[in-house]
Amino acid sequence: MNLKLKTRYLAVVDFIKSLTKVQDMTQGSIIQKLVTFCVPLLIGNIVQQLYNTVDLIVVGRYIGDDALAAVGLSTNIFFMLLILFVGVATGAGILVSQYFGAKDRSNLSHTVGTTITLMLISSIVIMAIGIVITDPLLRLLNTPEEIFGLARDYLLAILLGISGAVFYNGLSGILRGMGDSLVPLLFLIITCLLNVGLDLLFVAVFHWSVAGAAWATVISQIISSILCLIRLARMKDVLDFNKHIFIPKKSLCAAIAKLGLPAAATQLLFSFANLVVQRLVNSFGTEVIACTIVIMGVDGFAMMPNFTFGIAMATFVGQNVGAKRFDRVHQGVKTGTIMGISVSAVLVFMMLLFGEPIIRVFTSSEAIIKLSYDMLKVLAVGYIAMSVTQTISGAMRGEGNTITPMWISFFTTVILRMPLAYLLAFLTRSPEYPAGRPEVIYVSLLIAWVIGAGTILLVFRRNSRRSALNLSADGASAANDEAATIHSDNKSGGDETQSEVKLIENEACEA
């Protein structure tokens, strides 16, 4: 009996140890690899959302609905300012997953070092620009006077500590690119608990208002960044971590830019559309602003499976493309999409079932609770549509095709959602609703999500028929020849920029 218990104990220990190692997704059962990677990542995303939501709950409960609206408005502006970082992180994540899959230790190490240097530069640039444009941007958005000062205080504090957000998200993205989703989760849980404690201390005890909530987030993110950096420094079995890797390589900077710029453009479009719609939201008054912030808090949890499987697909496809395992790519995308839709459907059902009690955590205003729950029901089907969009977009990014998701995002957010929201608001104006019915904000979003999912699905199927994912023997041969040429160029000191960019390009994937 003791022997059996010892055997089981050792098996559990070995399993836990295996989770803390980087995941090689180029071999073994696809479902098992995706589950092993996605479970910690999904939990991590939920914890991350809790991390972000704590500020809203504490601010809403201890300061009031005006402060809740101010924090939410500031968050939208903050995301827009992260455009430069999004480009660096996306490009680096694709390179890391592909070099890890190719077992290219040298390029993997220099990609990590170059990315860290670029993140430092991004932090300084974002902070400088953000501080200068905070007041003009709040004015441009027609921010109500009663929340203007609160929004400015929160945004300035977050911007001063921007390095924490940039480095945590960037470094955890690098770890996930190598298949490590558990260790970032453990770090996130630690810092989430710290954030809760600091939020309560700074806001409820010290009465630092919204600035206290912002500094709680900043301090927690800086600690997360330090932990992730220590983890990378100790991964000597897969990469070199020394002072030489932090000197940016021109070739890697070019590759990161080539892959990251479309993602940055997508983020810019998304943020721009959100801010334009935010101006419409602001015209409805503070109560509707607070309602949209509550929805944003709940929405974050509903979107978790979508983001999770999108990241998983980018890592899975990136590693298999790097390893030239094109036979696994198509089946992996199909499996990941089915898993994403299934998990999303269950979570949406739970959200509708317990939506009202969850909303009450943010506010005690009955008017805001009712309006928020009504709007949440409008969005329900859209979350399942978004699971398709995120999963397939992640697969395309893993291949190196960041252009197609960018154009689809441009179509759904700028061409469709933004003008549709204003049109519906205009058509629903009445004496009771002089600015239009507030529900149109989410009706327009639902329509954009559903059309976006259908569009990217059609593009994906068209690319599949053209062997974008099921590469022919000739295509695989050409890819191998190209990789051989690249390594030859690297050894001979040739044109590094062109060779490394070619390594991560897959021209057959571009739409």
Considering the domain boundaries, does residue 5 fall inside one? no
Considering the domain boundaries, does residue 12 fall inside one? no
Decide: 62 and 317 in contact? Cβ < 8 Å.
Answer: no
Number of residues in the chain = 511
Considering the domain boundaries, does residue 36 fall inside one? yes
Nearest to 341 by CA among 453, 442, 446, 447: 453
Residues 6+ apart with CB under 8 A from 431: none
| pLDDT reported for residue 449 | 94
Considering the domain boundaries, does residue 103 fall inside one? yes
Range of the domain at 451: 25-509
Considering the domain boundaries, does residue 406 fall inside one? yes
Decide: 322 and 101 in contact? Cβ < 8 Å.
Answer: yes
Q: What is the pLDDT of residues 261-310, one digit of tens each?
A: 887 877 777 778 888 888 899 889 888 888 888 888 788 778 888 888 99
Q: Which two tokens stand for residue 292?
A: 């949209």
- Ranges in the chain, pLDDT < 50: 1, 467-479, 481-511
| pLDDT reported for residue 511 | 31
Predicted TM-score (pTM) of the model is: 0.66
Considering the domain boundaries, does residue 205 fall inside one? yes
How far is residue 356's CA from residue 353's CA, in Å, rounded to a whole number?
8
| pLDDT reported for residue 15 | 56
What does the angle CA 80 – CA 85 – CA 88 come to, to the nearest 5 degrees? 140
How far is residue 398's CA from residue 464's CA, in Å, rounded to a whole number?
15
How far is residue 315's CA from residue 302's CA, in Å, rounded to a whole number?
22
| pLDDT reported for residue 452 | 94
Considering the domain boundaries, does residue 50 fall inside one? yes
| pLDDT reported for residue 489 | 46
Residue 243 per-residue DSSP state: G
Q: What is the pLDDT of residues 300-358, one digit of tens each?
A: 778 888 888 998 898 899 888 888 888 888 889 889 999 989 988 988 888 888 888 98
Q: How many domains does the chain have?
A: 1
Considering the domain boundaries, does residue 67 fall inside one? yes
How far is residue 296's CA from residue 286's CA, in Å, rounded to a whole number?
15
How far is residue 328's CA from residue 31's CA, in Å, rounded to a whole number?
11
| pLDDT reported for residue 420 | 95
